[in-house]
Chains A and B, each alone.
Chain A
Amino acid sequence: NAGVTQTPKFRILKIGQSMTLQCTQDMNHNYMYWYRQDPGMGLKLIYYSVGAGITDKGEVPNGYNVSRSTTEDFPLRLELAAPSQTSVYFCASSYGSDSGDEQFFGPGTRLTVL
């Protein structure tokens, strides 16, 4: 199993540009998540999904959109990039929401907006 994969690994955007961060998991997990991590800080939840066709906002959703058309994929869309969105983005997945269901994280996408 590849686990959780994310593309691209790095990206530089200009202000106002848009892009999609890709996330795929091959563990047949129902739950998927997007987090961002600013330097020296912990992760903050952007959006999450409990299954195909179902998404919900996390702590910091403004400026982002998501969709979940399949169990495997959970792309994150930035429509109008701003410098405040410079961060490292992590995708994660888990089987469910039970207390013992660990989240598996991808390697991250480092995004810089100039």
Chain B
Amino acid sequence: DAKTTQPNSMESNEEEPVHLPCNHSTISGTDYIHWYRQLPSQGPEYVIHGLTSNVNNRMASLAIAEDRKSSTLILHRATLRDAAVYYCILRFFGNEKLTFGTGTRLTIIP
């Protein structure tokens, strides 16, 4: 399985944008890029996913590099509720399983 690399931790100020990077240099053509986040003492929750094009939803935006070897999750205006561990996961089409790494722990500074 292709692997992802994320920074262990990041900090950001409240009400500012946050850019969470993910490297996936061995990504294959059928791998989708998924992001989940896990708030303290909760189960993970889906954030966003994409294949080649940038994606937007109500929670975040996903920017995918042209060569697909990296991507960035963008939280446009961080709030204290966005403090969580963010997981970048590659999932090939038709694969029902998610493989979680250790993710990036995002701290929001008031």
Contact = CB atoms under 8 A, between A and B. Distances in A.
A99 B100 contact: no
A97 B44 contact: no
B95 A97 contact: yes
A48 to B, nearest CB: 7
A66 to B, nearest CB: 15
A99 B98 contact: no
Contact of A92 (B43, B94, B99, B101): B43
Interface of B: 32, 36, 41-46, 49, 51, 87, 91, 93-103
Interface of A: 4, 31, 33, 35, 40-45, 48, 50, 58-59, 90, 92, 94, 96-100, 102-108
3 nearest A-B pairs in the assembled complex, by CB-CB distance: A105-B43, A42-B100, A97-B96
